[in-house]
Amino acid sequence: MNRMIRAAAAQIAPVFDETGLGTAGKICRTIADAAQQGVQIIVFPETIVPYYPYFSFIRPAFRMGAEHLALYDRAVVVPGPVTEMVGAAARAAGMVVVLGVNERDGGTLYNTQLVFDATGDLILKRRKITPTYHERMVWGQGDGAGLRVVDSAVGRIGALACWEHYNPLARYALMTQHEEIHCAQFPGSLVGQVFADQMEVTIRHHALESGCFVINATGWLSDGQIADIAGDPALEGPLRGGCFTAIVSPEGKLLAEPRREGEGLVIADLDFGLIAKRKRMMDSVGHYARPELLSLLHDRRPARTVHYRDDPPEGVEPDSLQDRT
């Protein structure tokens, strides 16, 4: 008997407040609302908590210092108050939650994806491996340790953020781990219609190539928020369009009407029988692969800035010791 689960992709606007907790509260309310509609997994947009750094797209680096520091002050520490809030909301709803946050670790911010199981436990924390273009002035780089697929209450979940989907080897790393649900996150309200068009091609292609479902969430900015961020009508254009919140089947089909404007949920029922139906024809990491010709080297060791070598135990030569943290 095929499994069926109900999934949602959330297109919402952030809350710009002094604490940075306003968006997290909105996330928790959205989880509770989705639970009333029978949703078992929900995906939120890229770095929605506290907000995506739209300022970095329209301001030169030497003028964005104050806004960058404000993002530091409001960023998420993992674990911390935000993960406690969202974990509790996931547990109360019995829902798997995939959330994008600006994570602060010491003196660096990261574009981080968090996966909470239906128990409220945090089962994956991964960082975007290569921030894109303007984002490199905001975030540090992630590592291969986060390119993992995890088991959850609804199935095997993998996640990538935005233009990581243009890195075919990163996508293949998740394919090799047999993801059943791929969670994609984009900022939304950026670049214009061309961004939304490219996004649709990208997520539908990954669904076909991986033979999995894709749940894609993009953010949204109201007219007032755009005006506040831009501070100049001439800079508002780049902060419009680029929204395509959608759910795609393993056959590349849209399972519900995508959301291109405004806030709301896209909801669809996922029939896991479609995964086998697709992979019977084309399994990229199975019968359609040629590993003797082409294979992937994936370094899953966490990146470390220090390696400690302690004094050797008595009678043990130093060269016999291995680096350890």
- Confirm if 162 and 190 have CB atoms less than 8 A apart: no
Residue of 128, 135, 179, 212 marked catalytic: 128
Q: Kindly state the percentage of the chain with pLDDT values over 90.
A: 92
Give the pLDDT band of residue 2 (cuts 50, 70, 90).
Answer: confident
Residue of 26, 28, 46, 103 marked catalytic: 46
Is 50 exceeded by the pLDDT of residue 186?
A: yes
Total number of residues shown for the chain: 325
Is 90 exceeded by the pLDDT of residue 321?
A: no
Which residues does residue 127 pair with via DSSP β-bridges, in sequence order?
112
Tell me, yes or no, if 46 is annotated catalytic.
Answer: yes
Separation between Cα atoms, residue 48 and residue 71, nearest integer Å: 12
Which single residue is written with the structure tokens 């104050």? Answer: 66
Is 60 exceeded by the pLDDT of residue 318?
A: no
**Residue 132's closest CA among 66, 47, 232, 204?**
47
Q: What is the pLDDT of residue 151?
A: 98
| DSSP output for 5-62 | EEEEEEE------SSS-HHHHHHHHHHHHHHTTT-SEEE--TT-BS---THHHHS-GG
Q: What is the pLDDT of residue 179?
A: 98
Is 70 exceeded by the pLDDT of residue 68?
A: yes
Q: What is the pLDDT of residue 309?
A: 86
Q: Which helix (H) or strand (E) holds 161?
A: strand 155-161
Read off the pLDDT of residues 234-270 as tens digits, 9 standing for 90 and up: 999 999 999 999 999 999 999 999 999 999 999 999 9
Read off the pLDDT of residues 118-140 as tens digits, 9 standing for 90 and up: 999 999 999 999 999 999 999 99
Tell me, yes or no, if 317 is annotated catalytic.
Answer: no
Q: What is the pLDDT of residue 317?
A: 63
- Minimum mean pLDDT among 15-29, 144-158, 305-319: which range? 305-319
| DSSP output for 90-142 | HHHHT-EEEEEEEEEETTEEEEEEEEE-TTS-EEEEEE-SS--GGGGGT----
Tell me, yes or no, if 128 is annotated catalytic.
Answer: yes
Residue of 162, 183, 212, 243 marked catalytic: 162
Give the pLDDT band of residue 293 (cuts 50, 70, 90).
Answer: very high
